[in-house]
């Protein structure tokens, strides 16, 4: 197996004083699904955003498929096109139709013709189960549908890896499942995924590895069973006590 994503000795400090990430190293192999969990403000999003350099590390290295993104010579736009990212707030482009959302980067970045881009778009929309929404505007869709469009938009770039930052946290309970189902299917299809999520059910059934983060550092990592049932560290146990009793 070869490594798809690696962050090495990652540090990220905001405004010179807020240490969001402190010396984090994580390796994600090709085809692996890694779930990052941890309390609010522990640095999960920052770690994820450093993986495609939306946040620029204060120090440390970030490799995608062997290429170091921190290296100034690296063409970031090219790498980012290979790294799908799904946000908590969907971040669909509200002035474009669903199909235009999906074809924009294919045309501008991949240089595809409109027909090719639309064909790929339909394929991905079908995959996430809403081909009939191609000509709708994002605000005409439910939250769950919007998030599925966001996933389709990323998939249409044929990424090597997908990053998810709490993709279901902004959704009404009845819509969480439809998004998780899409993610489960992706995982089963062999996609390399890094997911920040509070959905422990998803983590149990899809994750190869769970990483528990607290105060900017990795506290412990292991298989879902190891982390959920046999956590070694007190902070990990505390975390589960809290979320299970709420």
Nearest approach, Cβ of 154 to other proteins (angstroms)? 7
Decide if residue 196 touches other proteins (CB under 8 A): no
Point out which residues bind Mg ion (CB under 5 A). Answer: 45
- How wide is the angle at C-alpha 13 spanned by C-alphas 30 and 167, nearest 5°? 45
For position 91 contacting other proteins by CB under 8 A, the verdict is yes
Min dist CB 105 to other proteins, Å, is 4
H/E/C letters for each residue in the chain?
CCEEEEEEEEEEEECCCEEEEEEEEEEEECCCEEEEECCCCCCHHHHHHHHCCCCCCCEEEEEECCEECCCCCCCHHHHHHHEEEECCCCCCCCCCCHHHHHHHHHHHCCCCCHHHHHHHHHHHHHHCCCHHHCCCCHHHCCHHHHHHHHHHHHHCCCCCEEEEECCCCCCCHHHHHHHHHHHHHHHHCCCEEEEECCCHHHHHHHCCEEEEEECCEEEEEECHHHHHHCCCCHHHHHHHHHHHCC
- The CB-of-38 to ligand ATP minimum distance in angstroms stands at 6
Binding mask 22-61 for other proteins (x = CB under 8 A): ------------------------------x-x-------
- One residue of 149, 157, 193, 210 binding other proteins per CB under 8 A: 157
Residue 83 interacts with other proteins (CB under 8 A): yes or no: yes
Taking CB under 6 A as the criterion, which residues in 14-43 touch ligand ATP? 14-15, 18, 20, 38, 40-43
Nearer to ligand ATP, 42 or 124 (CB): 42
Residues near other proteins (CB under 8 A), total: 31
46 scored as a contact of ligand ATP (CB under 6 A): yes
Of 102-110, 194-202, 207-215, 218-226: span binding other proteins (CB under 8 A): 102-110
- To ligand ATP, the closest distance from the beta carbon of 72 in angstroms equals 22
Give the binding site for ligand ATP (CB under 6 A): 14-15, 18, 20, 38, 40-46
């Amino acid at each position: 197996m070869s490594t798809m994503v690696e962050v090495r000795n990652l540090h990220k400090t905001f405004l010179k004083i807020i240490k969001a990430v402190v010396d984090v190293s994580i390796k994600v192999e090709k085809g692996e699904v890694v779930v990052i969990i941890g309390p609010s403000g522990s640095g999960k999003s920052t770690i994820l955003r450093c993986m495609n350099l939306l946040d620029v590390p204060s120090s440390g290295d970030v490799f995608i498929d062997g290429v170091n993104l921190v290296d100034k010579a690296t063409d970031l736009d090219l790498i980012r096109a290979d790294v799908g990212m799904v946000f908590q707030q969907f971040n669909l482009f509200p002035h474009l139709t669903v199909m235009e959302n999906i074809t924009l980067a294919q045309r501008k970045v991949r240089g595809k013709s409109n027909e090719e881009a639309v064909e790929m778009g339909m394929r991905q929309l079908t995959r996430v189960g809403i081909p009939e929404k191609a000509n709708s505007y994002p605000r005409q869709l439910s939250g769950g549908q919007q998030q599925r469009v966001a996933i389709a938009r990323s998939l249409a770039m044929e990424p090597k890896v997908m990053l998810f930052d709490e993709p279901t946290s902004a959704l009404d309970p009845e819509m969480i499942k439809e998004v998780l189902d899409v993610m489960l299917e992706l995982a089963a299809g062999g996609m390399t995924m890094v997911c920040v999520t509070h959905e422990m059910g998803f983590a149990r059934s899809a994750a190869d590895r769970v990483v528990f983060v607290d105060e900017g550092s990795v506290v412990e990592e292991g298989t879902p069973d190891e982390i959920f049932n046999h956590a070694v560290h007190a902070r990990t146990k505390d975390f589960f006590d809290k979320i299970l009793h709420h």
